[in-house]
Amino acid sequence: MMLAAHDLGWSARGAPILRGVSLEVPEGETLGLIGPNGSGKSTLMRLLCGVLKPEAGEVRLAGEPLARMSRRRAAQWLAMVEQQAETADRITVRDAVELGRTPWLSPLRPWSAEDDAIVAEALAVVEMSGLAARDWATLSGGERQRAHIARALAQRPRILLLDEPTNHLDIHHQLSILQLVATLPVTTVVALHDLNQAMSCDRLGVLQHGRLVALGKPQEVLSPALLRDVFGVRASFLTDPADGARIIRFHAVS
């Protein structure tokens, strides 16, 4: 398994936030995490990348316990795009993306032409090459999000963790980011809000009150019963005549 969590638990000031979460992500898979606000998606992501230390259980990368890896080596394995990460510093987009090279550099392994190429490619992939020299402060929310994704890509990780990466994005960039994530040859865990977009993941994990209540293929997981119990909505399923894909339409439970 590329990424495995075993019985993860975490609490804040005595209140349990996440309990008994176990999951395994094979190489190359895109795992979607869904759940209502406050269900623990971000907390799980932060545990998976080691920003938070689990109180119970452990995370393994390709079999090796994350807790025993140096931060630097862990960052060579996994990159994380946080839900919110802001700065007041006067940096350019390129500066932000170049930060992604941090785990590969050291005082004795300085910046090289290869790093330049990786950064340029990451910028191109998120369609930000033209904005590379722009001041961070002048970017829109969506542009910042794409720059963060480019930063994570510049990290050249084997595993990519994305916390609601399509927030702030216009529909074109939502789709292109999701498509990009699907085609990248990396293992991906992505927290998503839009359940229809979640349908395109290889598998889905559903969080509710800090527990993983379902894990499996999107079609199996997103049943009317689960949507009612976890999200509190009534759902009807439609079929797109263009390609026969399933689409969920939501109604308030009356």
Ligand X SMILES: Nc1ncnc2c1ncn2[C@@H]1O[C@H](COP(=O)(O)OP(=O)(O)O)[C@@H](O)[C@H]1O
The residue range among 24-32, 81-89, 177-185, 239-247 that interacts with other proteins, by the rule CB under 8 A, is 81-89
Which residues 11-30 are close enough to bind ligand X by CB under 6 A?
A: 12, 17
CB count within 10 Å of CB 62 equals 13
Which of these segments, 57-65, 75-83, 121-129, 131-139, binds Mg ion (CB under 5 A)?
75-83
Residue 247's CB is within 10 A of a number of other CB atoms, namely 12
Contact between 47 and other proteins per CB under 8 A: no
How many residues form the binding site for Mg ion (CB under 5 A)? 3
Question: 68-80: buried (b, 16+ CB within 10 Å) or exposed (e) per residue?
Answer: ebeeeebbbbbbb
* Residue 43 within binding range of ligand X, rule CB under 6 A: yes
- Note whether 38 binds ligand X by CB under 6 A: yes
Determine the interface stretch with other proteins among 12-20, 111-119, 215-223, 240-248 (rule: CB under 8 A): 111-119
CB of 145 to ligand X, least distance (A): 16
Phi, psi of 131 (to 5 degrees): -105, 10
Minimum CB–partner distance for residue 163 and other proteins (Å): 11
Minimum CB distance to ligand X smaller for 42 or for 155:
42
23 to 42, contacts with Mg ion by CB under 5 A?
41-42
Closer to ligand X at the Cβ: 37 or 254? 37
Q: Residue 37 interacts with ligand X (CB under 6 A)?
A: yes
Beta bridge partner(s), residue 78: 159
82 lies in the site for other proteins, by CB under 8 A: yes
Residues in contact with ligand X, total (CB under 6 A)? 10
Contacts with Mg ion by CB under 5 A lie at 41-42, 83
Contacts with other proteins by CB under 8 A lie at 46, 49-51, 70-76, 78-80, 82, 85-91, 95-96, 99-100, 102-103, 105-113, 137, 155
Contacts with ligand X by CB under 6 A lie at 12, 17, 35, 37-43
